[in-house]
Each structure stands twice: as C-alpha cells, then as structure tokens.
Amino acid sequence: MKQARTPLKSKEDRRPEEAGFTILETAIALVLMAIVGLGAASLFFFAVRNTVSAGDRELAMAVAQQKIEQLRNVDFSDASLAATAGTSTTLTRASRRYTVLTTIVDSNVVNGQATTKTVTVLVTPNSDGSTWATNVTSVFGSVTLVWQRTALVMGPNRAL
C-alpha cells in the first residue's frame, strides 16, 4: 500500500520552527567564511615567505663558512689576510645574490708585527625582495661569522 504524498505547505501554513535560513543570514555566513578564508590564506603566504627567508639565511651561512675556509687555507702573512676596513663582494649561489663584507683587524702587535688577526665575515641576502632582509643587520637579515687567527711566533715573555 502506497501512502499518498502530502502537498507542499504554503508559507502561511508552515510553523515557525520549520522556517529555513533567510537570504540575509546566508549572506552574513558567507561573509564570515570569506574573512576566515582570507585570514588562513594570509597565514599560508606568511609561512611560505618565512620559509624562503630561512633558506636564504641558511645559504648565507654556507657562503660565510666558505669564505672563512678560503681565508684559513692561506698563510698568516698572505696579502689576502692584510688588515682591511671592509672588502665587499657580491656572490650568487643557488640563483640567489649575497653581499659578503669581509673585515680583517690586526691585534696583539709584537715588535711591529701582528700576532693575531680577527676576521669578520658578514653575509647579507639580496634576493629576498623584502627591505628588512637587506637593511637589518640582525639575526633576521644577515649572517655574521667571527674568527681569530694567530701567528706561529713565540710571545715576548716566553723563553725558548
């Protein structure tokens, strides 16, 4: 036995608890969902940008370590270890540009000859595109390595 279908009720015949969402309620819900969606999208963009910046800093550390290794492989009296106020070069590694600033300071001078050299290598990524990465010389924008090297000479207060 089949049951007969009940005809649809008109708007006047419906009870208040059977009422659905109005257009206004649906539009407000849609606007709220769009705001939440845009917030999530901006967080995703921020995370991707910080990941790229972290990669730049990681490569900057590798560039700084490579420069330090180059200077470690030369003699103490070599011209490349002469005291400088700062030598700046631009390198490209992994399709990214870096500015390398190398500063060498002589110290502990004995009989007119330096016995210690302090080498500072500052590497700044230039490919990031954001101004804070190139203008800020802090932990966020650049990598700084400091290394000291001593000569193979006895000090004046040591007897052979």
Q: Which residue do the tokens 């006895």 mark?
A: 154
62 pLDDT more than 80: yes
pLDDT band at 151 (very low <50, low <70, confident <90, very high): confident
User: Mean pLDDT highest for which of 19-23, 90-94, 110-114?
Assistant: 90-94
Q: Which residue do the tokens 């000569």 mark?
A: 151
Rounded (5°) CA angle 134-143-81: 110
Length of the chain: 160
22 pLDDT more than 60: yes
For residues 103 and 107, the model is more confident at 103
Tally of CB atoms within 10 A around 83: 12
pLDDT score recorded for residue 37? 92
The C-alpha atoms of residue 65 and residue 42 are separated, in whole angstroms, by: 35
Q: Say if residues 63 and 100 touch (Cβ distance below 8 Å).
A: yes
- How large is the average pLDDT for residues 129-146? 63
Domains of the chain by start residue, with CATH: 19-150 (3.30.1300.30)
pLDDT digits (tens, 9 = 90+) for 25-56: 899 999 999 999 999 988 888 888 778 778 88
57-66, 80-89, 148-157: which range is least confident on average? 148-157
Determine the 3-state secondary structure of 105 from DSSP: strand
83 pLDDT more than 90: no
The C-alpha atoms of residue 99 and residue 122 are separated, in whole angstroms, by: 8
Percent with pLDDT over 70 in the chain? 74
